[in-house]
Amino acid sequence: MEVILFDNVKGLGRQGEKVKVSEGYFRNFLKPQNLAEEATPAALKRYEKMKKKALEMAAAKVAEARELEAKIKDIEFVVPGKAGSGDKLFGAITSADIVKAMDAQGYAADKKQIDLPEPIKTLGIHKAHLKIHPEVTAEITIKVERAEK
């Protein structure tokens, strides 16, 4: 029996492929878990529509991420840090501190999205990378200022 896979199935195939499986495997495993559908002409048409819509949505998300990248690249996010003499910080600025600064300026991010090339341990201007989308990474500017006591 031929089926269309809705998702990647280990040892069988990738999403969108048409593969041959036994009827029992389809009836007892693939169909109950919505991993596949019988390969009829109607099912093929339906799958092509779903695939086209998913591609359009993915393209829209990439475009949205590129717009955000363009907005963020010119913004300087200010992070306060306690420092001693010589502009050296007590501790380091973390991804969580950068996320707080971004939230304060109206940009939501997760600390897992921020990639610091090295720990920030001094006052001044530093660069980091924000992974907005798997295909889009923006370089952000972090300005570390002495915290008010």
pTM of the predicted structure, to 2 decimals: 0.68
Kindly state whether residues 41 and 89 are assigned to the same domain.
Answer: no
Counted domains in the chain: 2
- Give the CATH number, domain containing residue 27: 3.40.5.10
Kindly state whether residues 55 and 81 are assigned to the same domain.
Answer: no
78 phi, psi to nearest 5 deg: -95, 125
Kindly state whether residues 85 and 127 are assigned to the same domain.
Answer: yes
Structural domain harbouring 23: 2-62
Q: Write out pLDDT tens, residues 13-69.
A: 888 888 999 999 999 999 999 999 898 888 888 888 888 998 899 899 999 999 999
Q: Write out pLDDT tens, residues 96-140.
A: 999 999 999 998 889 999 999 888 999 999 999 999 999 999 999
Picking from 111, 86, 112, the residue whose alpha carbon sits closest to that of residue 97 is 111
β-sheet bridge partners, residue 13: 9
- Give the CATH number, domain containing residue 137: 3.10.430.100
